[in-house]
Amino acid sequence: MKLYGFPGSPNTWKVLALAQHAGVPIELVLVDLTKGDQRQPAYLALNPTGRTPALVDGDFVLWESTAILQYVA
């Protein structure tokens, strides 16, 4: 699984915290909010809201951090 997010964001951090606590391996892919990466077409194709985080698990894409928490759990 890959988590597209920004480490300084609580919505990214809480997913990483749960994954670490639960022993679920997740690779963080940096979406640099300070550089506007969240508004680039490649990211908007994953998450049209332009907000982080977004989870990618194979062909499955999920956004909204609370939904991602439930999926990881």
Ligand X SMILES: N[C@@H](CCC(=O)N[C@@H](CS)C(=O)NCC(=O)O)C(=O)O
Residues that bind ligand X (CB under 6 A): 9-11, 33, 38, 50-52, 64-66
Sheet holding 60-63, edge to edge: 27-30, 2-5, 54-57, 60-63
Looking at residue 49, what DSSP letter applies? T
Per the CB < 8 A criterion, the answer to whether 16 and 3 are in contact is yes
Per the CB < 8 A criterion, the answer to whether 45 and 39 are in contact is no
Give the nearest distance from C-beta 52 to ligand X in angstroms: 4
Give the nearest distance from C-beta 16 to ligand X in angstroms: 13
Which of 51/72 has CB closer to ligand X?
51
Which of 19/52 has CB closer to ligand X?
52
Give the nearest distance from C-beta 22 to ligand X in angstroms: 19
